[in-house]
Structure 1
Amino acid sequence: MDFENILFEENDGIGYITIDRPKKLNALNRATIQELHEAFSEAQEDEDIKVIILTGSGEKAFVAGADISEFADFSKDEGKQLAAEGQKKLFDFVANLSKPVIAAVNGFALGGGLELAMAAHFRIASDNAKMGLPEVSLGVIPGYGGTQRLPQLVGKGRAMEMIMTASMIDARQALEYNLVNHVTEPEKLISFAEDMARKIMKNSPVAISAAIRAVNSNYEDGVNGFEIEIEEFGRSFGTEDFKEGTSAFLSKRKAEFPGK
């Protein structure tokens, strides 16, 4: 599939999705959100892809925010629809993907860019990264899940401060806040993410998908995460991956998971 705003490729089990609008600092517009949805959907269905690395082209920005020119004159109803469609098509879609998504954050990750990074299953940042949710400086609030995912990651107080001051934090502060898992040099960012991806790929993809569902369930209203964990744990016993994993362990050999 050909894209205008992103790059998508697969190599050795890793899917690489790169937002590629460097002249716009990789800002998210509707067309880019649609293409990202299509790329993630394709990666989900591609049996060769086990882990996805999401990043932005160039060194200046992961995603510097949403393309404000697209919605500057929207009405209330149009604004509500914009947020609802974006969350369903991309941000919630990524968060609930059954394959691990690693956000490799280079440069600015602001507004919708930080919200996209937070939708990934975890984040690695280059030491030149800057992150923030500046929406209130435009008279609006984060609309792609920022008011929900940021408190989950950094705590309510820090999230309130970041949102209300519209301030940016650097990579080291993001690490201190638990907003990112690791910080590395810009030239090592992708290789670091690839190393993490290869560690993940040694394990059962079926079990990883189940773990994603169980962890995410804790953040769903009206859902008992412990019950989901019990269900997913029990379901694991009926998989070929479980049979292979336990057999390999008892035989003291490396497991070769069939992914079933």
Structure 2
Amino acid sequence: MEFEHIKVETIGRLQYITIDREKKLNALNRFTLAELHDAFTAAFKDPAVGGIILTGKGTKAFVAGADIVEFDGLGYEGGKEIAQRGQSTVFDIIANGNKPVIAAVNGFALGGGLELAMACHIRIASENAKMGLPEVTLGLIPGYGGTQRLTQLVGRGKALEMIMTADMISAAEALQLGLVNHVVFADDLIPKAEEIINKILTRSPMAVAAAIRAVNAGLVDPGKGYSTEIEEFGKCFGTPDFIEGVSAFMEKRQPNF
């Protein structure tokens, strides 16, 4: 599959998806979002891919936001359609993916860029990263799930402060808030993401996918979180991964999933 705005490389069971618009600070336009949709949809269906690392080209930006030029002249219906299409075809697909996705935040993650990182299952930031949702400075609010995912990650008060002031925060503050999982030197960003993904790849892929579904269920509807966990727990029994995992435990060896 050929892409113009992103680069996709698979090494072993790891796939690297890089937003390749460095001169535009990797801003998300409709073509980039369409390519991200195609790349992630294919990766989640490909049995050879075990996990995905998402990053931006260069050292300045992960994604510096949406391409605002595309917003010019839009009315209510146009704006609503952009948000709906982006959420359903990219951001929600990543969040609900059956394989772990790590965002390697290598610089600015603003607006749609931060929303893209928040859709990923784990976030790692370089120490020079800056994050924020500046939409209110344009007379907008976050439209790609930002009001919901930021609140889930940092709490209502801090989410409202970040959204209403439009202030950026440092990587260190993002770590303190729980917005990112780790902060590392820039040269260590991809290696840290690889370290975490490679550890996950030694675990049961069926169980990893089930865990993602159970966690997400509780975020969408807290009343369904526990029931989904119970259902997914039950489904694990009798699977090849469960049989291998228990056998490995009993035989005091590492499982081969």
Question: What is the deviation of 1:221?
Answer: 3.3
Q: What TM-score does the superposition give when structure 1 sets the normalisation length? A: 0.98
Cα 1:222–1:152, aligned 2, differ >3 Å: closer, same or farther?
Answer: closer
Please name the residue that 1:3 is paired with: 3
Question: What is the deviation of 1:48?
Answer: 1.3
Question: What is the deviation of 1:71?
Answer: 1.0
Q: In the alignment, does 2:223 pair up with 1:215?
A: no
Q: Pairwise mapping of residues 42-53 of structure 1 onto structure 2 (< 5 A)?
A: 42-53=42-53
Matches of 1:209 and 1:157, distance apart in 2: 31
Please name the residue that 1:162 is paired with: 162
Q: Pairwise mapping of residues 183-202 of structure 1 onto structure 2 (< 5 A)?
A: 183-202=183-202
% identity of equivalent residues = 62
Matches of 2:137 and 2:27, distance apart in 1: 17
Please name the residue that 1:230 is paired with: 230
Please name the residue that 1:175 is paired with: 175
> Which residue identity lines up with residue 152 of structure 2 in the other structure?
Q
Q: Secondary structure at the match of 2:195?
A: helix
Q: In the alignment, does 2:204 pair up with 1:204?
A: yes
Please name the residue that 1:75 is paired with: 75
Please name the residue that 1:254 is paired with: 254
Q: What TM-score does the superposition give when structure 2 sets the normalisation length? A: 0.99
Question: What is the deviation of 1:238?
Answer: 2.1
Question: What is the deviation of 1:222?
Answer: 7.1
Matches of 2:54 and 2:223, distance apart in 1: 29
> Which residue identity lines up with residue 49 of structure 2 in the other structure?
I
Give CA-to-partner distance per residue, 1:191-248, whole Å, 9 cap, x none.
Answer: 1100111110010000000000000000113751100000000000021000000000
> Which residue identity lines up with residue 140 of structure 2 in the other structure?
V
Cα 1:164–1:15, aligned 2, differ >3 Å: closer, same or farther?
Answer: same
> Which residue identity lines up with residue 183 of structure 2 in the other structure?
V
> Which residue identity lines up with residue 133 of structure 1 in the other structure?
L
Q: Secondary structure at the match of 1:219?
A: helix
> Which residue identity lines up with residue 219 of structure 1 in the other structure?
L
> Which residue identity lines up with residue 197 of structure 1 in the other structure?
I
Q: Secondary structure at the match of 1:42?
A: helix
Please name the residue that 1:14 is paired with: 14
Question: What is the deviation of 1:190?
Answer: 0.3
Matches of 1:106 and 1:207, distance apart in 2: 30
Give CA-to-partner distance per residue, 1:52-79, whole Å, 9 cap, x none.
Answer: 0000000000000000001121011100
**Alignment RMSD:** 0.8
Cα 1:204–1:131, aligned 2, differ >3 Å: closer, same or farther?
Answer: same
> Which residue identity lines up with residue 116 of structure 2 in the other structure?
L
Matches of 1:134 and 1:73, distance apart in 2: 20
The 4+ residue runs of structure 1 with deviation greater than 2 A are none
Matches of 1:53 and 1:223, distance apart in 2: 32
Matches of 2:179 and 2:218, distance apart in 1: 18
Q: Secondary structure at the match of 1:48?
A: coil
Matches of 1:66 and 1:223, distance apart in 2: 34
Structure 2 portions without partners, runs of 5+: none
Cα 1:161–1:222, aligned 2, differ >3 Å: closer, same or farther?
Answer: closer
Give CA-to-partner distance per residue, 1:99-148, whole Å, 9 cap, x none.
Answer: 00000001000000000000000100000000000000000000000000
Matches of 2:22 and 2:141, distance apart in 1: 25
Q: Secondary structure at the match of 2:55?
A: strand
Question: What is the deviation of 1:172?
Answer: 0.1
Q: Secondary structure at the match of 1:62?
A: strand
Q: Secondary structure at the match of 1:256?
A: coil
Matches of 1:229 and 1:50, distance apart in 2: 22
> Which residue identity lines up with residue 206 of structure 1 in the other structure?
M
